[in-house]
Amino acid sequence: MIKAIPKPMEEIIDYVKDFNKLLIAGCDGCVTVCEAGGLKEAKILASALRLYFTQGGRQAQVDDTSLTRQCEKEYLLQLSDRIDQYDAVVSIACGVGIQHMAEIYDKKIVFPGVDTCFMGVNEERGVYSERCQACGRCILAETGGVCPIARCSKRMLNGPCGGSDKGKCEISKDVPCGWELIYERLKTLGQLDRFETPTVPKDWTTSRDGGPRKIVREDLRI
């Protein structure tokens, strides 16, 4: 899932300090799971902003809500009958949801309330780590289910490099070497012979190198 972290309160206050009617819009999808942008976080942010405005002697209206998914038009349209009453919206969905909100309500000022970080897993509550960079051409079948694009700091296709030390990456002793993980996994699977065939250069046109991406599935379109 997409992982995000709340923006510092000072930054959000700086965005909204000149507005009087605000809507804090959470998302019940990925950002709820990583506890950065769900309904509870929307309530906390709205409450904090109300305290900020009130202690400064301002009469500001700060409401909160949460949509099932801000990355889908049908759910965003649920705000259509009331969004006009607000001067601005702070969306605490991921970057996708924030942009979609701004697209659907193109005359409304939309501020981000989170920093969207990566696609990753919940290692435990409060600990999330990256697993996929959406390169557009998955090679997990060849690498024992461990992605060298997301988990090797150099995105090497034929690793490890000389910086690997005792299974850790040279960037930090807390970061496992992606290629060490691949080696261990292939060893467990009895597929170490895969290392005898070098991986051919990757076609990066399906990644960001090919510009902004779009999927059109004619089989699904109505």
Which stretches of the chain bind another protein, using CB under 8 A? 8-10, 13, 40, 43-44, 47-52, 54-57
Q: For residues 83 and 6, give the distance between their C-alpha atoms in angstroms, rounded to a whole number.
A: 23
Beta bridge partners of 4: 116
Cβ of residue 25: shortest distance to another protein, in angstroms? 17
Nearer to another protein, 36 or 71 (CB): 36
Nearer to another protein, 4 or 150 (CB): 4
Cβ of residue 41: shortest distance to another protein, in angstroms? 9
Residue 176 one-letter amino acid = P
Cβ of residue 52: shortest distance to another protein, in angstroms? 4
Which tokens go with 190?
């009895």
Burial 70-106 (b: 16+ CB within 10 A, else e): bbeeebbeebeeebeebebbbbbbbbbbbbbbbebbe
Number of H helices, E strands in the chain: 7, 7
Dump the DSSP string for 109-147. Answer: EEEE-EEEEEEEEEEETTEEEEEE---SS--TTTTTT--
Cβ of residue 29: shortest distance to another protein, in angstroms? 21
Nearer to another protein, 44 or 109 (CB): 44
Cβ of residue 64: shortest distance to another protein, in angstroms? 10
Nearer to another protein, 11 or 103 (CB): 11
Nearer to another protein, 47 or 80 (CB): 47
